[in-house]
Structure 1
């Protein structure tokens, strides 16, 4: 006998309800997969670390909607390292020994990541991390980067910056290099000094400041007096905004300017940042947005970032690196059907992982693969890639004052 449409609809709804309830019933019978992290939720790095926290929450929520890992619910335990590498080291010890997490996810920024790697090595734990800037400092064979700047960024990434400038509207002849002493920032700025010399450019100023500095007036004055064509700013977090504010107070605007790892939202929304350059692995336009999972992630991030009152709700390099780290972890667990750290590490060394950055490999020095860094610029309050040209939106080119 043929069932009525109403009966069929009720049957389908009942089946859907039973299916939706299934994960909860299954999860109640087995422990969750616990993933431990620290992030700089307070201190000088907090503005950027909040992006990584939001991305992790988005990814874990989506994982659990899709059934978790290995059919088990995922719990993400996040502790505040206060932007202090020594504290990060202590907290990762706690995550492993007291909280007994199954897996680790790296913190934000090079100093804290190096601390986390040391702890992971002591306990033979896998560590995937998203923002380490000095690849040569990590020798542990069970750490894996989601920050795709290659194994020699002091040479390759800095050369990309100056190649972009050479092909831009006003190729510079004189350069000022000012930089934080934060480890990865200082390393890259030293690389920039070598690169500009190799290209026959003149360095007219070199200045350093201690990490956490908030007084940029004297630095702005020295830059103005040097009259450079281009200013390389070894910035992390809000350094870029503070320097731009200081330059504004003395009625100075650099012809061309670059900020290494700025807090993305605060910088792009600053009126003084028009024309500012930086590095990126992902921006919110084609061809990046055509990659699998990118459109859905962007849509969700917009909603959650708006609700969190972020100054900028777009997905860019920091958010993409964080999302990539979670993609790497999920891919390894899913492929191996294991939570064993060594099994996961062996898989990653032998296999590529498809991410919103592209196809990543981990078989190079220090488990790094290709340098995928591109050059982006603030144009009319938005980040857009300007080099290489095939990654730029249609009709977009580098601008200069």
Structure 2
């Protein structure tokens, strides 16, 4: 599917997502008999990119939120009360995100908030949360050193320095099969989180003796990748490292294909998972991941049940890739962290919840997430994955490789 076709299909996916979620619930293992919740709902507010350039990935987060809240209410809600998710469309724009979180707190008067999707939007929401001393659990914040607010908690276990660990893990994976690149081309969107990692990759490559054949930045929202592709082909690196978010990776590959150029080894920081995996141009593409429906990550019964429920809902919604991965897993763990703290403390007080989360961490589908490090970041739980035979598999670290697979490199 070409990039413009995928973008054009986003609205259809979003409409279908809302309809598909309730149907998937009947078969999920999360369902349990419980006394029906009663009383005024506990209102949890957030925004998502339901439209705009980030909507393709926003669709994943909406499916997750709909599933989680429906299953929560089927089990009796929280504190005996039903839960209502107050969701607004931030249109993929951080300035609108900021305004909407102000509205959620001051006008809609929600009880609690959770984060939106993507670093720039989360940073906007975090500023509002800090102004009102609200807890903010979030799922996809990519610049940990900027998360200085003491009541923010990352559900995405990147560790404090992903700009180092991510490129180092990639190079370690290639080195494990004797394919350490001699040259690297780094092409990145100016979207904050991916640009941050790309700049870190420059330093890692230099420290490891990999020659920089090209470093090129482009504006977020770029549609014409032809000139960028021409520069990549001219550089002809052993490794193409793309600071991509959403569909940018697909769009660059399509432009390269028009020039009859195929990268030898290629990595994308935060791509939309489905389009890259299902495109014939995405073969051997690599990325980072926190969750895949693969052993050992899905050995936990809760993780396996979550994966099953998500796939059913994503299939009914018509998403191009229905397996849960980083976006879905981190989004689910965000809800787990917040609701787990409410259950444990029997409170909706932001200070009480923040103190509990900070002290205890949380067991999630991604594993146990701790918040005992700088800016409430704990241990790095990220892995490297690769598209092989039309699907993502885990290729690094060694103890996490999907059985029957190995790193593919040239």
TM-score, normalisation: structure 2: 0.91
What residue in structure 1 maps to residue 3 of structure 2?
none
What residue in structure 2 maps to residue 258 of structure 1?
267
Indicate the RMSD between aligned Cα atoms, in angstroms.
1.2
What residue in structure 2 maps to residue 8 of structure 1?
none
The CA deviation string for residues 32-55 of structure 1, in whole angstroms up to 9 with x for no partner, is 000000001111111111100100
Structure 2 matches for 1:158-197, cutoff 5 A? 158-197=167-206
The CA deviation string for residues 89-123 of structure 1, in whole angstroms up to 9 with x for no partner, is 00000000111101101000000000000000111
Paired residues of 2:393 and 2:402 also in contact (CA < 8 A): yes
Q: For 2:362, which of 345, 353, 357 is the aligned residue?
A: 353
What residue in structure 2 maps to residue 341 of structure 1?
350
Larger Rg, first or second structure (1 or 2): 1
Give 1:169 shift: 4.8
What residue in structure 1 maps to residue 234 of structure 2?
225
What residue in structure 2 maps to residue 64 of structure 1?
73
2:106 is the alignment partner of 1:97: yes
Paired residues of 1:169 and 1:399 also in contact (CA < 8 A): no
Structure 2 matches for 1:242-391, cutoff 5 A? 242-391=251-400
The CA deviation string for residues 140-196 of structure 1, in whole angstroms up to 9 with x for no partner, is 100000111111111222221222222235221100000000011111100000001
TM-score, normalisation: structure 1: 0.93
Paired residues of 2:33 and 2:75 also in contact (CA < 8 A): no
2:117 is the alignment partner of 1:108: yes
What residue in structure 2 maps to residue 42 of structure 1?
51
**Can you give the 5+ residue segments of structure 1 that lack an aligned partner in the other structure?**
1-18
2:235 is the alignment partner of 1:235: no
Q: Would you say how many aligned residue pairs link Structure 1 and Structure 2?
A: 379
What residue in structure 1 maps to residue 221 of structure 2?
212
Question: Which piece of structure 1 moves more, 300-309 or 84-93?
Answer: 300-309
Paired residues of 1:232 and 1:258 also in contact (CA < 8 A): yes
The CA deviation string for residues 268-292 of structure 1, in whole angstroms up to 9 with x for no partner, is 1110000000000111110011124
Q: 1:395 to 1:21 in 2, by over 3 A?
A: closer
2:393, 2:182 → 1: CA distance? 25
2:180, 2:394 → 1: CA distance? 18
1:139, 1:168 → 2: CA distance? 39
SS in 2 for 1:288: coil
The CA deviation string for residues 37-91 of structure 1, in whole angstroms up to 9 with x for no partner, is 0001111111111100100111111100111111110000110100100000000
Give 1:297 shift: 1.1
